[in-house]
Structure 1
């Protein structure tokens, strides 16, 4: 566990003696889009239909607008605070090339985010820039998400699957998502239909009557996909329109706790070419190389490499 204890105060809670927790490393390493840095260095984010503000205080972390109960039920898991990242960093630092990236981004933690939100968000992320991704997600949230007020400002939760089901292609397209609108619409419909069918099976015990329908539909159920082994999960996510190998890896890593995932974008490609491989290696081969080299810690290695490469503007 990477903290000692928690204490309440009038505006929230304080996590005492937190290790391996750097706000910039966590929120600016490419894994999330609903967090913004304030002028005072704090970060305000929207997750699980709540708004919180996070402040680093030397060895402690303050979380505003929450309670001990919410911390235990949501934020401890969200920030992966039961995990000791020291062990991960020690293991990855045995690789002398990776050690430099680990030391550079030593405060990274991989967040445990909502699979539905992450699926839509990373469909939007394909061939897109972070400011445009954040804008599109905020547009979708402001149209169909729950309204939340904090410090006199209005925020919007990411919509639930039920909120987006039935929304027209034109309305989705009006949220600045570009050509990805049709992918979002198709994926939302498939996820919703799978969820309804799975609930029907569970409540009515009608497996035998709709066996073919189950086979065609359950492959789009995110809860089911999350329970699959890592390779099956990776393949299953690519059944959705607009999701290729890299986006599937991101969804697996940032919301499904599949830590063998190794997303390869332009920065990871540059980092892997810079540290390990010849410049002409394909994205597929880079992914395979990363997974073979780092095994069950591939996702953690990827985050350290991504952050190092981007922040140091590595070029090939």
Structure 2
């Protein structure tokens, strides 16, 4: 099956969920720096890896359509060069995975109305950017991915994560000529040569932090212990994360918000710091983004937007990202690239 095929071309292999654009806009959510595993495989269709499987998603009016591809037989990688075929989904399970990933049980329009009532600036931009919601990602993948965001931009981060998965992850399938791999396991990233291999892949100083955090988790909390941070208070989860190699306040808040159910977490990079100062008039002194500034900005937005402040910030972040792009034609910008400001933070 070709990626360009529309849902109607193969109806028995596609399923849909009710999901109006006010609840979810794939083009905004999947390209704005929350995740780095999706690409626009054809106009309006997004293909990527979720939960160890390859998916293609697309929206048509008030429906979210999806298909899931079967795993490639590892013992027969080169069978006549044929691409993977789409697998008939186990509907109840795949529906659950998507609903959980996009947190579709959270009603977005009511939140937009509440944020707009509290904040005229939010109200001014929200109508042009509906359906921006926070993803609920695997904690290990989210953590190790965001370690790579320090002093980086979206298109480069995406390429780094692709190289990481190809080098260390299990191959899942091939669509047309493109191979897809699962995100690496902790054990794959804790070998003696992991840091050197990551440096060879262009990770630079981040190599020691990716391998170091993978090792610290494997030898400490474990993947399940990291996931269990979903049940502890935000401050405690943040403290645990900040003790890991290469994890500062911004990375910890990204993981808290996008993987650990801490909707009040407000990730602050230099870009968000600038928004707080220039648009909201926050008088934060100094020339660097200090721990105190992180706390003050987060507290300000939590006071303004309430218990889902991180979700509201995601809307403004996405709006600012799109408004700062050049006209269509740049693949970098079509994928969400914005220069260093997209995920800029001082190296640990």
Q: Name the TM-score class by shorter chain.
A: 0.7 to 0.9
Q: TM-score, normalization: structure 2?
A: 0.76
Corresponding residue of 1:23: 26
Structure-2 change in CA distance of 1:108 and 1:150 (3 Å): farther
Shift of 1:225: 2.9
Unaligned runs of 5+ in 2: 1-9, 69-88, 326-340, 342-348
- 1:301 matched to 2:305? The reply is no
Q: Which has the higher contact order (CA 8 A, sep 6+)?
A: 2
How many Å separate the matches in 2 of 1:68 and 1:162? Answer: 31
1:226-305 aligned within 5 A: 226-278=230-282, 280-281=284-285, 283-284=293-294, 285-305=296-316
The two structures, once aligned, show a CA RMSD in angstroms of 2.3
How many Å separate the matches in 1 of 2:50 and 2:235? Answer: 28
Residue among 61, 69, 74 paired with 2:92: 69
How many Å separate the matches in 2 of 1:254 and 1:224? Answer: 14
Q: Aligned with 2:184: secondary structure?
A: coil
Corresponding residue of 1:130: 154
- 1:84 matched to 2:107? The reply is yes
- 1:11 matched to 2:13? The reply is yes
Residue among 205, 222, 229 paired with 1:179: 205
1:26-175 aligned within 5 A: 26-65=29-68, 66-94=89-117, 95-152=119-176, 153-168=178-193, 169-175=195-201
How many Å separate the matches in 2 of 1:101 and 1:150? Answer: 40
Shift of 1:96: 1.5
Higher helix share: 1
Q: TM-score, normalization: structure 1?
A: 0.83
How many Å separate the matches in 2 of 1:124 and 1:16? Answer: 34
Shift of 1:164: 2.1
Unaligned runs of 5+ in 1: 1-7, 200-220
